[in-house]
Amino acid sequence: MKKQFQVIVTFFFLLFIAGCSTESPIPETTPTPIITAPQTQAKTYNYLALGDSYTIGQSVCETCRFPAQLSKSLGNLNPNNTYSLKIIAQTGWTTTNLISAINTQNPTSNYDLVTLLIGVNNQYQNRPFPLYEKEFPELINKAIALAKGDKTNIIVVSIPDYAYTPFGQASGNLSTISTEIDQYNAFAKKYCDDNAIVFINITDITRQGLINKNLVAQDGLHPSELAYSLFVERILPKAATALSN
């Protein structure tokens, strides 16, 4: 009887082992892959601002002038990047002065963005208009050369109208100033349009200077920090596009 009991126990033990061997194996757990956002490599962009008092920011702080505000705004759009600003501009400069300064300083041709705002002193100093017609295209060509030879990196900014300032009002030549400023801007815009160069009009902003006195600096002539910020609102999208190309 004892022997039979051992046989029965052995039989059921073997049957149990066979049943276990037929069960589906437990699949191995595959680790869930960790997805990380692609890292954008930080870049350094070189920005060159060419012009006169409107570019150097006469009567406003260094960070208030439009090139500095533009550089900061670009940095706000892309915090990982660095924007290096160089300015070649001085109060009173005509197109002739700016050409001479560029030739003297001989900056490197590695700029990712170049802005050009020039001509008010040609008008103010009664220089012959044909001089502007000759030298503005020369400045465009120099700007292109400095912008790595790429004209899509160039932005031309229209000339402000100082007739709408206390200084302009005191001159007594309001209609003449505005008419001549329009002539300069019309030539620059047509040249830019014909050559597929970005032209940004900011003149209408400065023509609000008598209505909104906050648009004029304390000297009663030049744009204020607020006015420059409005310039930058218009320039920024085009500048960001130029740098993304």
For residue 174, what are the contacts with CB-CB under 8 A and spacing of at least 6? 163, 168
Q: What is the per-residue pLDDT for 191? A: 98
Q: At 39, is the pLDDT very low, low, confident or very high (cuts 50, 70, 90)? A: very low
Spell out a b/e string for 45-60, using b for 16 or more CB atoms within 10 Å of the CB, else e: bbbbbbbbbbbbbbbb
Whole-structure pTM over 0.85, yes or no?
no
Q: Which of 16-25, 49-58, 92-101 has the lowest mean pLDDT?
A: 16-25
Which helix (H) or strand (E) segment is 209 a member of?
none
Q: At 10, is the pLDDT very low, low, confident or very high (cuts 50, 70, 90)? A: very low
126 by Cβ neighbours in 10 Å (0-12 / 13-18 / 19+) ranks as exposed
Q: At 209, is the pLDDT very low, low, confident or very high (cuts 50, 70, 90)? A: very high
Q: At 37, is the pLDDT very low, low, confident or very high (cuts 50, 70, 90)? A: very low
Q: What CA dihedral angle connects 15, 21, 24 and 29, to 10 degrees?
A: 140
In this predicted structure, the answer to whether residue 29 has a pLDDT above a threshold of 70 is no
In this predicted structure, the answer to whether residue 226 has a pLDDT above a threshold of 70 is yes
Q: At 25, is the pLDDT very low, low, confident or very high (cuts 50, 70, 90)? A: very low
Give the C-alpha separation, 154 to 143, whole Å: 7
- CA 130 centroid distance within chain: 31
Q: What is the per-residue pLDDT for 40? A: 56
